[in-house]
């Protein structure tokens, strides 16, 4: 150690060796490790317009699979397994199923169908087409067939409502790419409501500056691979329609966010630096207020309303002695009960029999007995509530 400190040449040699080792490691990582390293980026979307029924829903977004030239079956399997482990509710594909130099054939089509079909999403799988998907009619037909056979609904300049077993929803708008597609923004937004939370997906990032800002809340895109090899002053991959917005997130017109994914595959060369291959999980969070509890229309029973339930028992209790006397002297009590039941408040029963009964007759003793029996009959009884994970290929 002392010899090294006293030897400047040795120190320079060690420093140069360290620098070379770092450079070699970065090259190795960029060309061998990074292209196969697929990461999961986690994002949260919070808004008042996201309904309570969509709170906690996970939407997985991926783009630029670029199958055929560099990304093949083994790397595809690694990606699909990583997606299945997240159990997304919604899946959205941002375009470019095949790499530009790869030609669709029957074998690759079957491999892609099996992989994409195994990716489950109970609330739906959706896709837009990229420029590679539409480079010619044969490729476009093959890509559409693969996606539709795998359960993906292709959004050609139109919108759909995303539900979670309820009438409340958010809106997903799909736009054709801005290079060789038949992009029609007015048609895509024709049925969009400003009251709905709107997520727009388009393969080309620069399209974000053309959509109506008042009808867009979040914009998903791909195409650029995040520059693929990104350094401080630029990148090695800057395709058309990704020159204004190349990578990362951008605030558009102070109205919505453009989020550009790095994609899954590679193009031109199989290398990545500071632009890891990725897929994104967006978790929806509702900021809508909880619904106000509706008061019950049925009032709680009070002591006064509870009393009538005891009235029949009270009447029976009071009538029991009368019934007992009636059982003992049926002949005498029978005529006294009849007027007591029929007498109204206008003609009190106590006065009528007193005036009509002669003094000579003994039934005068029955009058006091009839009055207690009339009292219950007249009264009616008593009243009563951002992280990133790495998946190695």
When pLDDT is cut at 50, 70 and 90, the band that residue 28 belongs to is confident
Instruction: Retrieve residue 11's tokens.
Output: 């120190």
Q: At which residue do the structure tokens 């002669």 appear? A: 358
Mean pLDDT, range 132-146, rounded to an integer: 97
CA distance 98 to 147: 12
Statement: residue 376 has pLDDT above 60? no
Statement: residue 299 has pLDDT above 90? no
Cβ neighbours of residue 294 under 8 Å, at least 6 residues apart? none
pLDDT of the residue at 296:
62
Could you tell me the CA-to-CA distances from 108 to 74, 76, 137, 143 in Å, in that order?
Answer: 13, 11, 18, 11
Statement: residue 372 has pLDDT above 90? no
Neighbour tally for 333: CB within 10 Å: 19
Mean pLDDT, range 225-250, rounded to an integer: 92
Comparing CA positions, the residue from 188, 224, 187 lying closest to residue 204 is: 224
Q: What is the pLDDT of residues 186-199, one digit of tens each?
A: 999 999 999 999 99
Q: Quick one: CATH architecture of 38-286? A: 4-Layer Sandwich (3.60)
CA distance 42 to 33: 22
Statement: residue 174 has pLDDT above 70? yes
Mean per-residue pLDDT over the chain, rounded: 81
Please classify residue 200 by burial: count the beta carbons closer than 10 Å to its beta carbon, then call 0-12 exposed, 13-18 middle and 19+ buried.
Answer: buried
CA distance 283 to 16: 47
Comparing 67 with 235, which gets the higher pLDDT? 67
CA distance 14 to 8: 10
Neighbour tally for 55: CB within 10 Å: 15
Mean pLDDT, range 347-358, rounded to an integer: 44
Q: Within 13 A of 196's CA, how many CA atoms are on the CB side?
A: 20
First to last CA, the chain: 41
Statement: residue 358 has pLDDT above 70? no
- Do 222 and 206 contact (CB within 8 A), yes or no? no
Statement: residue 251 has pLDDT above 90? yes
Statement: residue 367 has pLDDT above 70? no
Could you tell me the CA-to-CA distances from 42 to 39, 260, 273, 286, 326 in Å, in that order?
Answer: 10, 13, 20, 17, 88
pLDDT of the residue at 309:
47
Comparing CA positions, the residue from 65, 53, 10, 28 lying closest to residue 264 is: 65
Percent of the chain whose pLDDT exceeds 90? 61
Rounded to 10 degrees, what is the CA torsion of 358, 364, 367, 368?
150
Comparing 310 with 217, which gets the higher pLDDT? 217
CA distance 200 to 216: 7
pLDDT of the residue at 72:
94
When pLDDT is cut at 50, 70 and 90, the band that residue 301 belongs to is low
Give me the residue spans of the domains in the chain: 38-286
- Do 173 and 194 contact (CB within 8 A), yes or no? no
């Amino acid at each position: 150690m002392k010899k090294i400190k006293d030897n400047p040449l040795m120190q320079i040699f060690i420093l140069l060796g360290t620098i070379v080792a770092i450079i070699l490691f970065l090259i190795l990582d960029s060309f061998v490790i990074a292209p196969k390293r697929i990461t999961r980026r986690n994002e949260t979307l919070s808004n008042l317009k996201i309904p309570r029924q969509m709170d906690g829903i996970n939407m997985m977004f991926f783009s630029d699979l670029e199958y055929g030239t560099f990304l093949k079956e083994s790397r595809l399997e690694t990606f699909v397994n990583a997606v299945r482990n997240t159990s997304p509710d919604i899946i959205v594909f941002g375009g470019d199923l095949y790499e530009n130099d790869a030609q669709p054939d029957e074998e690759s089509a079957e491999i892609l169908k099996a992989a994409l079909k195994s990716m489950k999403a109970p609330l739906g799988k959706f896709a837009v087409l990229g420029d590679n998907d539409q480079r010619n009619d044969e490729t476009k037909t093959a890509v559409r067939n693969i996606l539709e056979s795998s359960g993906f609904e292709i959004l050609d300049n139109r919108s759909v409502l995303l539900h979670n077993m309820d009438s409340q929803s958010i809106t997903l708008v799909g736009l054709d790419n801005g290079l060789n597609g038949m992009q029609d923004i007015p048609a895509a937004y024709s049925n969009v409501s400003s009251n709905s939370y709107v997520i727009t997906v388009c393969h080309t990032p620069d399209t974000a500056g053309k959509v109506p800002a008042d009808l867009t809340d979040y914009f998903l895109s791909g195409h650029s691979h995040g520059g693929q090899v990104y350094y401080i002053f630029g990148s090695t991959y800057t395709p058309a329609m990704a020159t204004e917005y190349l990578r990362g997130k951008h605030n558009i017109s102070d109205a919505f966010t453009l989020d550009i994914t790095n994609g899954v595959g590679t193009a031109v060369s199989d290398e990545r630096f500071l632009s890891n291959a990725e897929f994104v999980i967006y978790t929806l969070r509702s900021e809508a207020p909880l619904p106000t509890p509706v008061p019950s229309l049925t009032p709680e029973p009070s002591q006064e309303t509870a009393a009538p339930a005891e009235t029949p028992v009270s009447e029976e209790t009071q009538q029991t002695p009368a019934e007992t006397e009636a059982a003992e002297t049926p002949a005498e009590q029978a005529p006294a009960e009849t007027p007591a039941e029929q007498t109204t408040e206008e003609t009190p029963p106590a006065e009528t029999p007193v005036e009509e009964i002669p003094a000579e007759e003994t039934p005068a003793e029955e009058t006091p007995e009839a009055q207690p029996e009339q009292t219950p009959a007249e009264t009616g009884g008593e009243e009563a509530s951002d992280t990133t994970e790495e998946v190695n290929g």
